[in-house]
Every structure is written in structure tokens, then in C-alpha cells.
């Protein structure tokens, strides 16, 4: 496995990731502290960091409601943030 940094794309922005790093870790390292908004307009990002809460939800490669704190960031992943409409 390469130890060189790779990239994911977050809302169209390239973000560096290291092997084994979580999506949330990559976002925080890039200076992105909140990436979701609740129905009442409150900003959310990383809270528990262990996959228990739902504050860090993102969409990864089209898969909705992924907990960014426990999802490994893989080179080339496309991450979308923000509140997602209910189905």
C-alpha cells in the first residue's frame, strides 16, 4: 500500500487523504469543520468520532447517510455534503 497522500473530491473540491484516514479526518485536516445542516439550520460536523451519533453524515460515491467518522477515505471517492432531502 502506498504511503503517499491521495485525493478525494468533496463538493467539487480536491481534498488530500492519507492511507487509512477517515473521511471526517480528511475533512478536518482540510479545514472543513462542518459539512451538514440539520432541518432547523444548525451546522453539524464531527461530534462523537466513533460512529454512534449521526452528526457527520455525508454521501460517498452516491451512497447516502454514510458516517464520515468511520468511513475510510479511498482515493478517488466523491463525497457530497449538506442536508439531504427525505425520500
Residue 87 lies in a domain: no
Residue 43 lies in a domain: yes
- Per DSSP, the residues of 19-42 read TT-BHHHHHHHTT--EEEE-TTS-
Residue 1 lies in a domain: no
CATH number at residue 52: 3.10.20.440
State pLDDT tens for residues 19-43.
Answer: 999 999 999 999 999 988 888 988 9
Q: Give the predicted TM-score (pTM) of the model.
A: 0.85
Residue 57 lies in a domain: yes
State pLDDT tens for residues 44-62.
Answer: 899 999 999 989 999 999 9
List the one residue out of 79, 75, 80 whose CA is nearest residue 21.
75
Amino acid at each position: 500500500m502506498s504511503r503517499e497522500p491521495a485525493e478525494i473530491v468533496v463538493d467539487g473540491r480536491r481534498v488530500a487523504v492519507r492511507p487509512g484516514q477517515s473521511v471526517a479526518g480528511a475533512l478536518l485536516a482540510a479545514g472543513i469543520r462542518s459539512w451538514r445542516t440539520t432541518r432547523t439550520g444548525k451546522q453539524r460536523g464531527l461530534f462523537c468520532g466513533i460512529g454512534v451519533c449521526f452528526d457527520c453524515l455525508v454521501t460517498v460515491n452516491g451512497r447516502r447517510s454514510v458516517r464520515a467518522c468511520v468511513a475510510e477515505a479511498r482515493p478517488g471517492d466523491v463525497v457530497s455534503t449538506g442536508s439531504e432531502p427525505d425520500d
